[in-house]
Amino acid sequence: MGVTVAAVRVPDGGRRDYPGPSFVRVPGLLRKLWFDRLAMLSDAAAEFGDVVKFAMGPKTLYYFNHPDHAKHILADNAANYHKGIGLHEAGRLILGDGLLTSEGEMWKHQRHIIQPAFRRDRLAAFTSVVTDAGTALTERLRARVGEIIDVSEEMTRLTMSVLGQSLLAADLSPLRMLGPAFEEAQDRAMFEMVSLGALPLWLPAPRNLRFRRARRQLEDAVAVLVAGRAHAAGPHGTDLLSLLAGAYADEQDAGTRWRVLRDELITILLAGHETTASTLSWTWYLLSGHPEAEAALRAEALEVLGDRVPGNEDLARLPFTTTVIQEAMRLYPPVWGLTRRSVKADVVGGYRLPADADVMISPYTLHRHPGFWPEPNEFRPSRFATSAAVTTHRYAYIPFGAGPRVCVGGVDVKRADAALARLAHV
């Protein structure tokens, strides 16, 4: 089926004869990219292996699907890779220079400021925010027994409420436009990814216009929040907004101060609510199809908690529940694709990668790589049990990314500190 096979050795190391579909398959590929991108990646990995070059007309995507490749690109040689498609145009416009999209010295500075807010001891202070939101959810659902519930909508409401209280000490529920505005923004970023950046944002296309309106709405919402917060709590709060406001207090220019706060808050609201809502929604979905796992989870909760509200210290006492969440994030990682753009040419997995190349690493396909996961498509929480012999590669499971750009919201404190220590070398 049109695989490029001519072996060419090049003097600077690295082969150029990438496996991948030939140009006659481009129309089919584009259709797949548009309608079923996960199938496009999974099928390509099954057909061509761990390294695939998608040459799609003027656009080329280099897809690497071995944990060693993920380690090289995301961690060992991270300095050679900037954020890629989906994040550098639409992402940048909506998130500005927030932590997810910034690069270089600016990113390092921001990460040093923000990371301490995500230390476990700090997060523990917000336990009651989480349990209160959980209790409110339970009451809401109890009142609707017998009705069809949109789980994803409920989980999004839950995670938004937790983020609002913990980041801003604010109730976000009156800001109803936040949800649709974020959806619009994500839609545009996804469109950038599946069209490989083919529609520039400056074109007055309907999709671009909707995106711009969403961006204005998000900025307005954040302005309301920041103003309300400053008024209510003054500069001594312990939430993330207070931390940020304190860190940039010396910045003389009010415009710059506002831009920094705006970009960070929109970033963290976006990065924090959808990922967590998606994890929970997929967890319920998987449990609904695996009654034995659901029963075990219920039994663990009853045994450890009885009918009391959980505390932070209970997390360590719920090992089965933890493995259920880990397995849900393996099968359905909320961030299915990590895109990067190479700065200089590199050699990855023995193949020569040019400078300015668009690169894709997919947690979704890595997490189902048959070389690292027995029965990869099966829901089996026990594979994460500490008693199980975990033989898989450290980079075969990367729901929170890896290397210096690993998620601030998902790492444990030890790994966060190690990542911070490494920043000096990036």
CA distances (Å), origin 339, targets 73, 192, 363: 10, 12, 11
Stretch that binds ligand HEM, among 143-151, 181-189, 249-257, 263-271 (CB under 6 A): 263-271
How many of the chain's residues bind ligand HEM (CB under 6 A)? 22
Judged by CB under 6 A, does residue 400 bind ligand HEM? yes
| Residue 275 found at the interface with ligand HEM (CB under 6 A) | yes
Longest dimension (CA), the chain: 70
Nearer to ligand HEM by C-beta: 373 or 400?
Answer: 400
Out of 113, 268, 287, 328, name the contact with ligand HEM by CB under 6 A: 268
Contact pick of 80, 161, 165, 267 for ligand HEM (by CB under 6 A): 267
Contact between 407 and ligand HEM per CB under 6 A: yes
Smallest gap from Cβ 308 to ligand HEM, in A, equals 25
User: How far is Cα 256 from Cα 266, in angstroms, rounded to an integer?
Assistant: 15
Identify which of residues 215 and 405 has a Cβ nearer to ligand HEM in the complex: 405
The reply on whether position 281 binds ligand HEM by CB under 6 A is: no
279 binds ligand HEM (CB under 6 A): yes
x-marked contacts with ligand HEM along 151-190 as a string, rule CB under 6 A:
----------------------------------------
Please report whether residue 338 would count as binding ligand HEM according to CB under 6 A: yes
In this structure, the dihedral spanned by the alpha carbons of residues 161, 164, 165 and 171, taken in order and rounded to 10 degrees, is: -70
86 counts as binding ligand HEM under rule CB under 6 A: no
Nearest to 60 by CA among 231, 230, 196, 232: 196
- Minimum CB separation of residue 115 from ligand HEM in Å reads 8
The nearer residue to ligand HEM, 120 or 144, going by C-beta atoms, is 120
Burial 96-124, CB ≥16 within 10 A → b, else e: bbbbbbbeeeebbebbebbbebbeeebbe
Q: Does 401 interact with ligand HEM (rule: CB under 6 A)?
A: yes
Which of 66, 88, 215, 405 is the binder for ligand HEM (CB under 6 A)? 405
Residue selected from 334, 342, 353, 381 as contacting ligand HEM according to rule CB under 6 A: 334
Q: What residue ranges bind ligand HEM (CB under 6 A)?
A: 83, 99-100, 111, 267-268, 271-272, 275-276, 279, 334-335, 338, 399-401, 405, 407-410
